[in-house]
A and B are shown apart, each in its own frame.
Chain A
Amino acid sequence: DAKTTQPTSMDCAEGRAANLPCNHSTISGNEYVYWYRQIHSQGPQYIIHGLKNNETNEMASLIITEDRKSSTLILPHATLRDTAVYYCIVRAGRVAYKLSFGAGTTVTVRA
């Protein structure tokens, strides 16, 4: 599976959009981009995934560049409860087992 690079940490103001970047320059054609997050003292939570088209669900939007070498997770209106570690994972296929979690981005939403 392709390796991903994410910033170590970022701050965001409550009510504003949070844009979380992820670099996956070695991604292959059959590899999907998955985003999970882990709130303190909880297990990871699925957010969204995509192959090449932009995706949106009730939690977030995923923007994947045309060359698929990077993507951005957008939390449209960040709340204090969105404070968490966000993981960008690249994996072949839509079967999301054997996920390889890196260090992720620690996002702190401030009032």
Chain B
Amino acid sequence: ETGVTQSPTHLIKTRGQQVTLRCSSQSGHNTVSWYQQALGQGPQFIFQYYREEENGRGNFPPRFSGLQFPNYSSELNVNALELDDSALYLCASSLEDRSYEQYFGPGTRLTVT
């Protein structure tokens, strides 16, 4: 069984640019959540997608947006990048009936210069 995968592994962008991060959820998992983890801190919830619809959002501005596709894979888009957006972005997926167990990917390290 393939786990949660994310791409790219690392990314360097310039302030003001836009970025798209990708996540392939574990087979059969229909919910996907995205988290931002700044250096030395715990992950912070950005939003969750369930059956292609946003289903809960954390305290992040609208320039953070996402998509979920019919195969349950997902994208996180960030517009107008700021230096504080530099972080590890984690994707997590789960089964609908085992939603207490989130499976996290290895993350994408984004650096904004």
Contact = CB atoms under 8 A, between A and B. Distances in A.
Contact of A44 (B43, B48, B55, B56): B43
B106 A98 contact: no
Name the residue in B31, B48, B56, B104 with the highest tally of chain A Cβ atoms < 10 Å from its Cβ: B104
Interface residues of A, number: 23
Chain A contact residues, majority secondary structure: loop
A94 B100 contact: yes
Contacts of B45: 97-100
Nearest to B44: A101
B24 interface: no
Contact of B106 (A34, A41, A46, A102): A41
A99 B102 contact: yes
Contacts of A101: 35, 42-44
B48 A43 contact: no
18 contacts: A36-B102, A42-B104, A42-B106, A43-B90, A43-B91, A43-B92, A43-B107, A44-B43, A45-B104, A46-B100, A46-B103, A95-B100, A97-B48, A97-B55, A98-B45, A99-B43, A101-B35, A103-B42
Interface of B: 4, 31, 33, 35, 41-45, 48, 55-56, 58, 90-92, 94, 99-107
Given A44-B43, A44-B104, A46-B103, 9 more contacts: A43-B90, A44-B90, A45-B104, A87-B42, A97-B31, A97-B102, A98-B48, A99-B45, A101-B43
